Amino acid sequence: MAATYKDIQRLTGLSLATISKYFNGGAVREENRQAIEEAIRQLDFHVNAYARSLKSKRSKLIGGLIPELDSTFNTRMMADVEEYLRQRGYGLIICDSRLDQDSEKEALDFLLGRMVDGIITIPYDKSGQHLEAARARGVPVVVLDRLPTDFETDAVILENADAARTAAETFIQNGHKEIAIINGPGSLFTMQERMRGFQETLAAHKIPIRQEWMIDGPMTIDGGYQNTKMIMSLWHKPTALFCANYEITFGAMMALNEMGIRIPDEISMIGFDNLPLARVIRPRLTMVMQPMEKLAHKAAELLIERIEGTAPKDPQIIRMQAELVAGESVKTM
């Protein structure tokens, strides 16, 4: 027969109120905590999460809704979210919308049907209107990476325009005037911002913006590969290339290697995100890195505050800065 709170009370001599406070994350005296944990060990005690959720009206589960599991960025963010939640007694259920708005709605309904306490999402539908289903049930939502156009909620995002400005400024400071960017889809908030920041920087320095070097395309390895081959096959080639996400950077490296184009002798390059390959290839890539762990942990923290009623009344938008990590892939002209 499974052990109960009363069995822990019998071994420790503590009140049921103290024991309940411990299991619900409250502060208890150090000697009481040690006594409870020793009783748990002796009794091989396991919390009946379902019974607790019925009593507390909370499941201690969070729904994670992402556009695709194949994306390194999405899976890394959810791994960091899960780490933060687990340390605070919450579990995470992840659903993949497969880059489809109807599937995104279905996945959200699935999560709400599992009585999750909150939703953390990297939304695919840029309007965010599908998230009204969560609000209608009183389930708080925090969005990561992208700001919805028609749904106001807590959000944690990167200063994407500034991140791209940093890359452009680095090229310009090293004497480059013929600069290209391979970006993601122009329909996405993050990619709109990166392209905007990049082009504004070129314009501020009176550097011509050549449209054939301003590429919107898939945020995939193949997209980076194909678009790099296209740019580097033009009669008039750029001297510098910025790749605006992880997979694009990876694909661009594959294309340049295949074409026998040397970095930085024939093309200077700046990549994006914490690319493990950047640490081992030679020359080392200069990278614009976003603080992925901080972004994920802050989103999880905001959601828990909203669930537990300690968050400010109005939605919060937290913006974080990327960092340039210098390598050896930018040539001085």
Residue 333 resides in a domain:
no
Is 261 found in the same domain as 167? yes
**H or E stretch at 300:** helix 292-307
Is 63 found in the same domain as 98? yes
What proportion of the chain, given as a percentage, has pLDDT over 70? 92
* Position 21 pLDDT exceeds 60: yes
Q: Which of 7-11, 27-31, 316-320 has the highest average model confidence (pLDDT)?
A: 316-320
Q: Nearest CA to 246 among 321, 172, 163?
A: 163
The string of pLDDT tens digits covering residues 113-155 is 888 899 999 998 888 889 998 998 889 999 998 888 899 999 9
Is 261 found in the same domain as 246? yes
Is 188 found in the same domain as 265? yes
Which residue type sits at 144? L
Which pLDDT score, from 0 to 100, does residue 54 have? 46
Q: How far is CA 73 from CA 78, 166, 272, in A?
A: 9, 20, 11
* Position 52 pLDDT exceeds 60: no
Residue 266 belongs to domain with CATH number: 3.40.50.2300
Q: How far is CA 128 from CA 17, 114, 134, 146, 161, in A?
A: 42, 21, 11, 10, 21
Residue 312 resides in a domain:
yes
**Structural domains in the chain (count):** 3
Spatial distance between the Cα atoms of 331 and 171, rounded to a whole number of angstroms: 8
* Position 322 pLDDT exceeds 70: yes
Residue 52 resides in a domain:
no
**What is the model's pTM?**
0.78
The two structure tokens encoding residue 67: 């556009």
Residue 325 resides in a domain:
no
Is 99 found in the same domain as 201? no
Mean pLDDT, the chain, integer: 87
Is residue 241 within 8 A of residue 225, CB to CB? The reply is no
Which pLDDT score, from 0 to 100, does residue 112 have? 86
* Position 2 pLDDT exceeds 80: no
Task: Domain of residue 228: give its range.
Answer: 160-290
* Position 49 pLDDT exceeds 60: no
* Position 231 pLDDT exceeds 60: yes
Residue 328 resides in a domain:
no
* Position 178 pLDDT exceeds 70: yes
Find the range with the poorest average confidence among 10-24, 129-143, 166-180, 226-240: 10-24
| Mean predicted confidence (pLDDT) in 21-33 | 76
Question: What is the number of alpha carbons within 13 Å of residue 323 lying toward its C-beta?
Answer: 6
Residue 329 resides in a domain:
no
Is 170 found in the same domain as 141? no
| Mean predicted confidence (pLDDT) in 59-75 | 86
Is 35 found in the same domain as 96? no
Is 211 found in the same domain as 151? no
Spatial distance between the Cα atoms of 21 and 29, rounded to a whole number of angstroms: 11
Residue 108 resides in a domain:
yes
Which pLDDT score, from 0 to 100, does residue 162 have? 95
Which pLDDT score, from 0 to 100, does residue 246 have? 87
Residue 270: phi and psi, rounded to 5, are: -125, 130
The two structure tokens encoding residue 153: 């909620």
Residue 153 resides in a domain:
yes
Spatial distance between the Cα atoms of 269 and 278, rounded to a whole number of angstroms: 11
Is 273 found in the same domain as 254? yes
Is 194 found in the same domain as 125? no
Is 244 found in the same domain as 195? yes
The string of pLDDT tens digits covering residues 257-282 is 999 999 999 999 999 986 666 666 77
Is 67 found in the same domain as 23? no
Q: How far is CA 221 from CA 167, 176, 179, 248, 253, in A?
A: 20, 26, 21, 5, 9
Is residue 300 within 8 A of residue 64, CB to CB? The reply is no
60 vs 200: which has the higher pLDDT: 200
